[in-house]
Amino acid sequence: MKTDWLIVGAGFTGSVLAERIASQLGQKVLVVESRNHIGGNAYDYHDEHGILVHRYGPHIFHTNDEGIWSYLSRFTRWRPYYHRVLAMVDGHAVPVPFNFNSIAALFPPERARQLERLLLERFDYGSKTPILQLREAEDPALRELADFIYDKVFLGYTVKQWEMKPEELAPSVTARIPFHLSRDDRYFQDRYQGLPQEGYTRLFERLLDHPNIRLMLNTDYHDVVEEIEFERMIYTGPVDVFFDFIHGELPYRSLRFEMQHHAVEQYQSVAQMNYPNEYPWTRISEFKHLTGQSAPGTTVAVEYPQPFVRGKNDPYYPIPCEANAQLFRRYQKEIDDVAPKILFAGRLADYRYYNMDQAVGRALALFRRISEGR
């Protein structure tokens, strides 16, 4: 079997690169995917009740990059959607990221007004402040508020999600859920937000629908790589697997989803309810909020974080801490040695958490390098 490019993985990174190479360079691309579907973790499908669900948890596309939004808009229409998340705190459902509305829901009115005033004396309205930074405020009332948010909203969720305390993780993790000095309850404030009108899987089908692209599902590239004659490869899978764990395994966290169908029109008031303290799960997601689908009954996903065990579950999240960064740097030297014949990109290959728009942006940037001969 002969092809110009072998791309391993049919998620966002691999599919975007396949589309660009096939359509813009006119070259042949073979995409090899170990799963039985395209779309990576963004894959969606209709369950036995006819509800469109996201197999690997809720995926909401959001970006401030007009170029990324415009590119994907060639392959899908969008359903406008603003994600809102509530967290159960002391029996109250409060907005997260924590904001002025959250304070008002949990504190007496006079105390809430005092805290809001103190915050606005110290920070600009609309700004976002990491909780760990807020805990270092000089004002004791603000430190008390930060400790409350840390204990009630942040600590329990982080320990369940990562089996590590927030201080043990890279600052990029704790910065993802800051205190938002606003009454804007949207989880994201990006300029462009939505979901593909016909679902993510249909978006990926269109990305890969090109005569220069051939797709092989249910195929581990190790099993076929010796039979394929290719000029160059793009690998989007786990980097330690590619190099046969020469420097050891890179740690990940995994997830287990329990899909439940309920014979009610609506199970919860928002798409996502977080449970930072009680119960072993971290969140419950209701898909009809995301898709706007009208159908009898509703399906939710109850999400349980768990350790990643190779061969038993999927690697979801690279664990961002200094020890793991050092280990990846050893693999980076191996990556440099095989370039440019073999290129690496994507969440698993880069050992870095990407939002969907970041994965698309990474792919488009790599394509620009390829098209420039670099």
Same domain for 153 and 22: no
- CA dist., res. 145 & res. 226, Å (int): 60
pLDDT computed for residue 226 by the predictor:
92
Let me know whether 242 and 364 are in one domain: yes
| Interval 291-304: pLDDT, tens | 999 999 999 999 99
Q: Assess whether 32 and 162 both reside in one domain.
A: no
**Domain identity same for 227 and 122:** no
Domain match, 226 and 355 both: yes
Q: Is residue 186 part of a domain?
A: no
| Residue 110 domain flag | yes
Give pLDDT tens digits for 42-63: 999 999 999 999 999 999 999 9
Burial of residue 197 (CB within 10 Å: 0-12, 13-18, 19+) is middle
| Spatial separation of the C-alpha atoms in residues 235 and 232, rounded to whole Å | 10
**232 and 161 in one domain?**
no
- pLDDT tens track for 207-238: 999 999 999 999 999 999 999 999 999 999 99
* Confidence band of 374 (pLDDT split at 50, 70, 90): low
Per residue in 126-171, pLDDT (tens digit) is 999 998 889 989 999 999 999 999 999 999 999 999 999 988 998 8
Are 174 and 228 within one domain?
A: no
The whole-angstrom separation of Cα 206 and Cα 19 is 9
Q: Which band of pLDDT confidence, cut at 50, 70 and 90, is reported for residue 176? A: confident
Mean pLDDT of 307-311: 95
Number of domains comprising the chain: 2
Establish if 260 belongs to a structural domain: no
Residue 256, pLDDT above cutoff 90: yes
Residue 106, domain member (yes or no) = yes
Residues 100, 14 share a domain: no
Parent domain of 122: 96-180
243 shares its domain with 349: yes
